[in-house]
Structure 1
């Protein structure tokens, strides 16, 4: 049973270009469905990497940004453990 998938114009255009490039390189006509199936198979085979691609990317802070962040922190001289945190949060 076929299901429709909505694509924006840019994605649809890239899918069509990919389909055309496959035909040029291989001499075979392939359907967009076949291209999408292959893409899903490839993503599924390396799903950990594919899933990771959806995580927010975070840029490491440079030294100045790290210093600015830590500028306001003060060492109280007292070591804090989980019980201290629980006491502060939950009373």
Structure 2
């Protein structure tokens, strides 16, 4: 594992300890992550595919075809109120 991976694992380990109060080993974290990845294999495999960015014109049109304007302007405060009450 490279240094970036080790650092990310250590950060995750610290976050688990902070939020749960439980000390877990890096091995336990890796096992849990692998079990989760195994359950969503296709997503993991797809994450290694080459990206198609920028999108083709056809893909861009398909993305925008479902968009519409509600006529209401939304700002950051509105979004915060909706998400956090």
TM-score (norm 1): 0.58
SS of the residue corresponding to residue 56 of structure 2 reads coil
Select the structure of larger CA radius of gyration.
1
Question: Helix, strand or coil: the match of 1:30?
Answer: coil
Structure 2 CA distance, aligned partners of 1:27 and 1:43? 25
1:49 Cα deviation from its structure 2 partner:
1.1
Alignment of 1:49 onto 2:36: no
Taking the aligned partners of 1:12 and 1:22, their CA distance within structure 2 comes to 15
- Structure 1: 5+ residue stretches without partners: 1-6, 64-91
The aligned residue for residue 89 of structure 1 is: none
Q: Partners of 2:36 and 2:9 in 1: how far apart?
A: 15
Across the aligned residues of Structure 1 and Structure 2, the Cα RMSD in angstroms comes to 1.4
* Per-residue deviation, 1:10: 1.1
- The structure carrying a bigger helix percent of its residues is 2
Structure 2 length normalisation: TM-score? 0.62
